[in-house]
Chains A and B, each alone.
Chain A
């Protein structure tokens, strides 16, 4: 169930099951203003009657960014409302079922071992030594989009972009907000956080070398998103054990296969009976279909490593304040396992020397392998221009 059909169902479920909530606190600052293209008026007479004074207070619809919205009220959630949306998903939380984790695990392992017999790869868990096949959400998405793209992306560092810099800075600021509850000087705080992270030093230098006008543009966006975060995100009770940038790993097939993920925010304590953890990913860019699949992968890794799934996974879009919430279900986990198995099969094939399949898609316009890729060229020509705008946008947003 990795497709987008589930999203519609989820939204419906949210709309249908969300209890009436009290009026939102008055937005602080201009950053909570309605996003462009969004009609702030109430969507229906019933809404107006319920909300009082023409202000929608009990129905928040999630709409795609940039889409035309007519007669549809949309405002970002904030404070306790945001927290409640995360906590009260409208679905019964999954019971902890060790059998489910075993089934998911064996499903992936069977697929891996079937494809990996020609070239057994030693790993890190009991019974083996050496380097395992490491699967991350990015690698999984890349190889499923196009094997040739995955191979081309594997080498060399990604070229920094303003959007990438914005995303990394906002991630750091979100972490700061969760940790100390405040952001004083967004750009300075974010740059300081990058400076103490070895992996981000190249990006830091790149930002510092930007022309002043571009850097100013970046700063404006970072400040805008940081202020919106401060205005909307509630302080998380320390007793819920909020933690940021939590690394999750799960070794499969005797350690030959390693699934790994790092989540922006995890809340809740591991439980014995009922799913109790919420996972939140923060995105500074546009909504993309892959984000849901990424979250399902996180949920899968969490389920495999603990034997207990999270009860909810969610993506928070700092640019707009949208919150996409996915209550975790067995079907979603099974779908994530199938997707992972398919990707692992492709990665094993590539590792064994198989010629990468070329499957043109929206990322072709920005793919490093495009100059040698006939199908990619043909795809772009068929689209009428040299670059597939949505795909490039999507890539730059990462």
Chain B
């Protein structure tokens, strides 16, 4: 079945090549076009009737995998496989916890695994105190912008960012509870700085918005607002934390899901382990949500994506990554450091 709506006249879908045209009159006509309902939001099944733009290719890959053989629901890790990784992580966490001073906690995040890889001598980083900046807002604001576009409320991120930001600030002012955390900071910004926040969010959101054929998903994506977390029940000082930008139901069945995680820079050497880590945290963090069958990593700056099928070797890779990370962090505790003087180990930055 074709994705109805993606060829709608005035609103080229992301990934379409018809954004800039060489006919100046067409440009004027387009400029004069009234606002029309966006083409996204008309969900259809997994076949595609549009040329294979990068966005279409990526969408298909997220739904069906790299080589497109549709996997059955039973081809992901078995429940036994998930239990095995849970058990292994529990023992790894317990061992690490034994070496921690009283009261210290470790939060293993993708950022910490990268820090350990790049600077094994100082896995805790520079300890720079947190302060808000536009780069820390762009992801959550950008994600809200993309969600609004996918829902059909706006034609593109540049249209959406102003209303979405205004709505967030108004909601916070009414309720007193910041949904994104940055509202109080953002509300106090002068115009030039607030525009920088908006511009950062547009650029971030546009990269995600133009990376997929949103009408090609069989159901609306579920956007990830909060982190997935797993706390080792036997050693509560060790936590795993990760996040994904959105998930869609897997074509293999309702009990599994395909997830997308966006990162900066270029794909790291151990992107497989990093994506597997994201899947493991999502899988262990909730017993009620569908288990991840596939994770796509998106590195917009490099215009790259990588897709990882989650199977038992992937789960093992993730466990190994956690183990190495905890080892490196625990090494920072010298025997002569008395308990009670433990440095703050939680380096996950509050980038919302």
Contact = CB atoms under 8 A, between A and B. Distances in A.
Interface stretch (B175-183, B236-244, B262-270): B262-270
A258 interface: yes
A249 B302 contact: yes
B265 A196 contact: no
B27 A267 contact: no
Interface string B178-207: 000000000001111101111110110011
A176 B301 contact: no
A84 B191 contact: no
A242 B19 CA distance: 11
A166 B243 CA distance: 40
A239 B11 contact: yes
B59 to A, nearest CB: 12
B203 A246 contact: yes
A178 B206 CA distance: 14
Given A83-B27, A243-B206, A272-B17, A93 B22 contact: yes
Interface in A173-192: 175-176, 178-180, 184-185, 188-192
B192 A191 contact: yes
Contact of A241 (B30, B118, B158): B158
Given A241-B19, A251-B266, A197 B196 contact: yes
A266 to B, nearest CB: 9
Given A125-B269, A251-B302, A243 B203 contact: yes
B19 A196 contact: no
B16 interface: yes
A124 B268 contact: yes
Contacts of B57: 272
Contacts of A190: 192
A244 interface: yes
Given A84-B24, A124-B269, A306-B54, A268 B19 contact: yes
Interface stretch (A126-134, A354-362, A386-394): A126-134
A198 B19 contact: no
B32 to A, nearest CB: 10
B140 interface: no
B202 A243 contact: yes
Interface in B205-229: 206-207, 209-210
A282 to B, nearest CB: 14
Nearest to B267: A125
A326 to B, nearest CB: 15
Given A192-B192, A239-B10, A129 B269 contact: yes
Nearest to B268: A124
A305 B123 CA distance: 31
A269 B15 contact: yes
Contacts of A191: 192
Interface in A78-105: 80, 83-84, 87-89, 93
Nearest to B197: A196
Contacts of B192: 172, 176, 188-193, 195
A189 B195 contact: yes
B16 A245 contact: no
A305 B203 contact: no
Interface residues of A, number: 67
Contact of A244 (B51, B56, B199, B209): B199
Interface string A116-141: 00000000111111100000000000
A272 B195 contact: no
A257 B165 CA distance: 38
B14 interface: yes
A276 B161 CA distance: 24
B134 interface: yes
B202 A244 contact: yes
A19 B24 contact: yes
Contacts of B133: 196-198
Interface in B46-63: 51-57
B22 A271 contact: no
Contacts of A273: 17, 51
Contact of B27 (A87, A93, A246): A87
Nearest to A21: B24
B31 interface: yes
Nearest to B160: A238
B303 A306 contact: yes
Contacts of A126: 267, 269, 271
A278 interface: yes
Interface in A234-254: 236-251
Interface in B1-37: 10-12, 14-17, 19-24, 27-28, 30-31
A365 to B, nearest CB: 35
Given A88-B22, A239-B10, A245-B199, A305 B304 contact: yes
Nearest to A277: B20
17 contacts: A19-B24, A93-B22, A125-B267, A127-B269, A175-B199, A179-B195, A188-B190, A188-B191, A196-B193, A196-B196, A198-B133, A239-B19, A243-B202, A245-B203, A246-B207, A249-B265, A271-B53
Given A192-B192, A271-B17, A311-B20, 16 more contacts: A124-B269, A129-B117, A172-B192, A179-B161, A179-B199, A196-B134, A196-B197, A240-B19, A242-B202, A243-B158, A245-B203, A249-B301, A251-B302, A269-B12, A269-B15, A273-B51
Q: Which 10 A-B pairs have the closest CB atoms?
A: A192-B192, A271-B17, A189-B192, A238-B158, A272-B53, A243-B203, A196-B193, A305-B303, A192-B190, A193-B192
